[in-house]
Amino acid sequence: MEQKNLHVAVVGATGAVGQQMIQTLEKRNFPIGTLTLLSSERSAGKKVMFKGQEIEVQAAKPESFETVDIALFSAGGAVSKALAPEAVKRGAIVVDNTSAFRMDENVPLVVPEVNEEDLKWHNGIIANPNCSTIQMVVALEPIRQAFGLKKVIVSTYQAVSGAGAQAITELKSQAKAILEGASFTPEILPVKSDRKHYQMAFNAIPQIDKFQDNGFTFEEIKMINETKKIMHMPELEVAATCVRIPVITGHSESVYIEVEKDAVSAEEIKHVLKEAPGIVLQDDPSEQLYPMPADCEGKSEVFVGRIRKDLDRDHGFHLWIVSDNLLKGAAWNSVQIAESLLKLGLVK
Ligand SMILES: NC(=O)c1ccc[n+]([C@@H]2O[C@H](COP(=O)([O-])OP(=O)(O)OC[C@H]3O[C@@H](n4cnc5c(N)ncnc54)[C@H](OP(=O)(O)O)[C@@H]3O)[C@@H](O)[C@H]2O)c1
């Protein structure tokens, strides 16, 4: 990586994703000269440690981006819509974790293992895909390259950290209340701004984000549309059902795919995934080896197992895909995009 002392800003620095971004920047020894940490007024003045030094969090304003080279945004769509253009106006490249710009045709939507080349046509903003989409396309792309891909049907088992720091607190306090026989009132999940809230502890909720007119939730629509955009396959058939489960970190996915090529074996799929970037193959039924969220927490790779050929359809396969939603699903993919920008000479 080209070594520069960059001015990096993290917007949403006190949030579930922002905290992981700061730790990932430190772990990767990203070439930072100045780190600016931004939040809302609520957290302004808080101190956050970076490389053994305390940095004071500031309230995000347009002027916060003067002299910033790269700004990593994860403070919600409204903040990105308001402040990302201000950052770009001041010369920063924005890597945005929210859904604000993902389907904008002037904004590349990037998972470096899949479509790093799309960074070359950015216009200041680069979108980081939805967490559940990222881990799925990392596993689908090498299969597509080797055998072609026609159809994807995914059911997710998503962790509460995907809904932010407040959802983690809600799950923990609910579990405690239920075990102690105390009463509780759900306030955050499934969607803080929706009308009804449900028990998350010891439960499964088949709603992530709000319902659309077609009966799908917005999370499901994001998975469908973003997969097609990242893989440059508008014709790919994709369907999704997204479910929240009482796991704190690590999204799991049961994925059914149909490939183009005839007579492919499960062993061939495993071989391709074993060699693919960013993937750890964990697949040995004789040893009860398969990926689980508790094992993937804190790791940056995508873990794949339970690979089987469908019993009825020659072109059909089943996979189980697990990854840390706060790392590959958010913070690590964003920092990886920033590293790719440096590698490709795209930072001024
Ligand atoms: N969690 C995931 O797995 C995941 C994955 C991919 C993308 N994302 C996206 O990333 C974003 C943040 O998610 P999160 O899980 O980190 O949420 P979170 O834990 O609720 O954190 C939100 C962050 O945004 C800041 N913020 C809120 N309003 C703000 C404002 N008006 N101006 C500036 N900063 C503001 C908060 O600061 P205060 O401390 O001041 O409130 C906090 O730092 C969301 O858009 C989410 O969709 C999340």
Residue 36 has, within 13 A of its CA and on its CB side, a CA count of 23
Q: Among 7, 122, 242, 251, which one carries the catalytic annotation?
A: 251
Q: Using CA atoms, how far apart are residues 73 and 71, in angstroms rounded to an integer? A: 6
Dist. CA 181 → ligand 1 center (Å) = 32
What pLDDT is attached to residue 51? 96
Q: Which two tokens stand for residue 32?
A: 């930072």
pTM here is: 0.96
What pLDDT is attached to residue 261? 98
* Collapsed DSSP state (helix, strand, coil) of residue 257: strand
How many helices (DSSP H) and strands (DSSP E) are in the chain?
9, 14
Residue minimizing CA distance to atom 7 of ligand 1: 97
User: What is the domain partition of the chain in residue ranges?
Assistant: 6-129+330-343, 133-325
What pLDDT is attached to residue 320? 99
Dist. CA 151 → ligand 1 center (Å) = 33
12 is in an annotated binding site: no
In the structure, which protein residues have their CB atom closer than 6 angstroms to any atom of ligand 1? 12-18, 39-40, 42-43, 60, 74-77, 79, 97-98, 131, 161-162, 164-166, 325-326, 329-330
* pLDDT under 70: residue ranges of the chain: 1-3
Give tens-digit pLDDT for 17-56.
999 999 999 999 999 999 999 999 999 999 999 999 999 9
- One fold for both 6-129+330-343 and 133-325? no
On the 0-12 / 13-18 / 19+ scale of CB atoms within 10 A, 322 is buried
What pLDDT is attached to residue 4? 74
Q: How many of the other CB atoms lie within 10 Å of CB of 293?
A: 21
Which of the listed CATH numbers 3.30.360.10, 3.90.1150.10, 3.40.190.10, 3.30.540.10 matches domain 133-325?
3.30.360.10
329 is in an annotated binding site: no
The verdict on whether 296 is a catalytic residue reads: no
Q: Using CA atoms, how far apart are residues 135 and 119, in angstroms rounded to an integer? A: 19
The verdict on whether 131 is a catalytic residue reads: yes
- Residue 82: CB partners within 8 Å, gap ≥ 6? none
The verdict on domain 6-129+330-343 having CATH code 3.40.50.720 is yes
What pLDDT is attached to residue 348? 82
What pLDDT is attached to residue 2? 52
